[in-house]
Amino acid sequence: MTMLATYCERAGTAGLLAEPINLITNTAFVIAAVFAARRLVAKPDLGLRNSWDLGLLILLLGAIGIGSALWHSFATVWAVLADVIPITLFINLYLLSFGWRVLRLRPLALAGLWLGYQVLSVGLVALTGPELLNGSVGYLPALAFLVGFWWVLRRRADPLAPTLLAACLLFIGSLTFRTLDMALCGLMPLGLHFLWHLLNALLLYLLLRGLIGAHRA
């Protein structure tokens, strides 16, 4: 069964090419995954045993592009699962990987960090509803944690702090475009959602590049 996707480019139509720009721009995630994989392979001190999480994050980055392309093509129940599941897994695994590799948290603190994200994520959507801000409300906890990570690294004078700041700004920009997509349909028939794809592909690449560079032996 086809669902009505709330994106300006689709504009109530159905079919494989109902959102061609949103479909094509998902290749940015696959390209980002390829560049991240090349950076990982170039690190001689990173073997399979101590980089499995990085490898899985790269695979999930590619899967985000594929899943999102399927969703924007078919707009069915199975397609939305293909879209949402890789994104959810990436956010959760990145949270744990960052806490271990960069913040150097012990297992109990790492579990607390992950649990705190779950409580904020579920609680915010339950309080506001999933459709607030054109469906962007579910990403606000991820932005909040990313800003928190940057603040911690800035206080530590960590060399990764500028990368996290750039990631925060990209995320704010991409969320803004995602939120305004339907509201500006009259001015921009193609919508703004494709910019969400392009900016997020760069954002996720920067986050992975930072993790790979912060290898914990």
Task: Look at residue 2 and give its three-state secondary structure.
Answer: strand
Contact 199, 173 (CB under 8 A): yes
Cα Dmax for the chain:
53
- pLDDT tens, 42-72? 887 777 678 899 999 999 999 999 999 999 9
What are the CA-CA distances from residue 5 to residues 76, 111, 193 (Å)?
9, 35, 12
Q: Which residue has the higher pLDDT, 214 or 110?
A: 110
| Exposed/middle/buried for residue 75 (C-beta within 10 Å: 0-12, 13-18, 19+) | buried
- pLDDT tens, 189-201? 889 999 999 999 9
- pLDDT tens, 103-121? 999 999 999 999 999 999 9
Taking the C-alpha atoms of residue 118 and residue 192, their distance in angstroms, rounded to an integer, is 29
Mean pLDDT (whole number) for 163-169:
97
pLDDT at 49: 74
Asked if the model's pLDDT at residue 4 lies above 90, the reply is no
pLDDT at 44: 76
Name the β-bridge partners of 76: 2
- The pTM for the full model equals 0.93
Taking the C-alpha atoms of residue 1 and residue 174, their distance in angstroms, rounded to an integer, is 29
Q: Give the pLDDT band (50/70/90) at residue 206.
A: very high
Q: Give the pLDDT band (50/70/90) at residue 187.
A: confident
